[in-house]
Amino acid sequence: MQRKALGIVLLLLVVPGGAWLMLGERQSPPDNGAAGQRLFPELEQKLNDITRIRVEHNGSVYEVLKHGDQWQLPDKGGYPVLFERVKPLLLGLALLEKVEPKTDKPENYARLGVQEPAVDSGNIRIELYVTGDDPVASLIVGGIRSGLIAGGRDGIYVRISGDPRAWLVSGNLDLPQQQVDWVDRQIIHIKPKTVQRVTIRYPDGDTLEIAKRHRGVATYTVVNMPGGAVLKDGIEINTLARGLAALNMDDVLVRAGAGLPEADAVAAVFETWDGLRVTAWTVEQGGEIFVWFDVGANAPVVTDLSRAGTTQVNDEVLRARLEGWVYRIPRARGDKLRKRLDDITVGQ
């Protein structure tokens, strides 16, 4: 009886301590003298020299490259990346600290999410390069247990590429997964209160135009309302002026190679009280809505000299930001840029 009881006690001590008894095979836990050490001891000193980040996630592989002082997505025509996405990732990797070693058996990797990344595996491999093709850090990031470690740090299961040993490490990682996660998703933001007129034109000539006569008017009117027609019940016409307010993208493409049917594009022209004119061209393809922009400016009547030049600056900034790109946007936002007169009126 004493031997049997002792065996039960030992089993209860070993299994919770790190699962060193697995699949019926005893396995001695490795020495944990490395606890508290940096996973990549020399990486912090090399962060300013990193020029390439390679990401492998769910069967997709892409890179983020540094050109001069600007990070870019080469697969997206060099679309600019936010440094605010790059910095926390690099620093987070450099500051990872070992907590305790885990399994070194490949058949157990999936339990921690540190198996080789594959389609639908859900984990991610991050590689950092200075020059050449030899990474200064290559890490498979698996399961993350938020707030597991004292001080608000997460517990993260990882495995250095090529090393059989998995680790539980402490730290905080901001992990962009898709390419679009690295960029500023907001394409444009024109506040509705600044919009004086919206005109939506279809290639077939169908046109919907709304406008305000002066700033103090609360509601837009349909400029080309047919005789005898009225707004449909429940139509909130002011929502049309919000079409370019905080418009976010789901993806970005180089316009020259996008292969979109531009002859079918619908033009939604937004004109502001300050004279800014932005045309959002939308097309539908494969059930998705894509948009690109033309930016111009009418000659505004400047009544407040302190605001002189505002339109010109906005015009130039927007044009530089938007020119040459086409964006895939959420369907609900795209539909607002493609309203027809018949969609909002009845009885003409």
Per-residue pLDDT at 314:
66
Q: Are 40 and 93 in contact (CB under 8 A)?
A: yes
**Can you give the pLDDT at residue 58?**
95
Position with higher pLDDT, 95 vs 31:
95
249-260 mean pLDDT? 97
DSSP single-letter state for residue 339: -
Give the model's pLDDT for residue 237: 93
pLDDT of residue 347: 82
Q: What local confidence, expressed as pLDDT, does residue 32 receive?
A: 63
Residue 283 has pLDDT above 80, yes or no: yes
Residue 273, pLDDT > 50, answer: yes
Which amino acid belongs to residue 112? Answer: L
Per DSSP, 344 falls in state H
Q: 74: number of CA atoms within 13 Å, CB side? A: 12
Which range has the worst mean pLDDT, 78-82, 167-171, 304-308, 314-318? Answer: 304-308
Tell me which H or E stretch contains 130: none
Q: Where do the DSSP E strands lie in 150-260?
A: 153-160, 166-171, 186-188, 195-201, 207-211, 221-222, 230-231, 247-248, 251-254
- Average of per-residue pLDDT across 185-213: 96
Q: Is the pLDDT of residue 309 over 80?
A: no
Q: Which of 221-230, 236-245, 297-306 has the lowest mean pLDDT?
A: 297-306
* pLDDT exceeds 50 at position 10: no
**pLDDT mean over 277-297:** 95
Given phi > 0 = left and psi -120 to 50 = alpha, else beta, which region is 110?
A: alpha
Enter the pTM of the model. Answer: 0.83
Position 35 scores a pLDDT of: 82
Whether pLDDT at 30 is above 60: no
pLDDT tens for residues 170-189? 999 999 999 999 999 999 99
pLDDT confidence of residue 31: 53
pLDDT at residue 42 tops 50: yes
The percentage of the chain sitting over the pLDDT mark of 70, rounded to a whole number, equals: 85
Average pLDDT over residues 202-222: 95
Q: What is the pLDDT of residue 317?
A: 86
Average pLDDT over every residue of 213-226? 93
Task: Place 4 in a pLDDT band, splitting at 50, 70 and 90.
Answer: very low
- Where does the pLDDT of residue 12 fall: very low under 50, low under 70, confident under 90, or very high at 90 and above? very low
pLDDT value for 234: 84
Mean pLDDT computed over every residue of the chain: 87
Give the mean pLDDT of 31-55: 91
Q: Is 248 in a helix, a strand, or coil?
A: strand
- Asked if residues 158 and 235 have their Cβ atoms less than 8 Å apart, the reply is no
pLDDT at res. 112: 98
- 179-208 burial by CB neighbour count: b if 16+ within 10 A, else e? bbebbebebbebebeebbbbbbbeeeeeeb
CA distances from 332 to 58, 197, 289, 337 (A): 27, 21, 9, 9
Per-residue pLDDT, averaged over 226-240, amounts to: 92
User: What are 97-127's pLDDT values in tens digits?
Assistant: 999 999 999 999 999 999 999 999 999 999 9
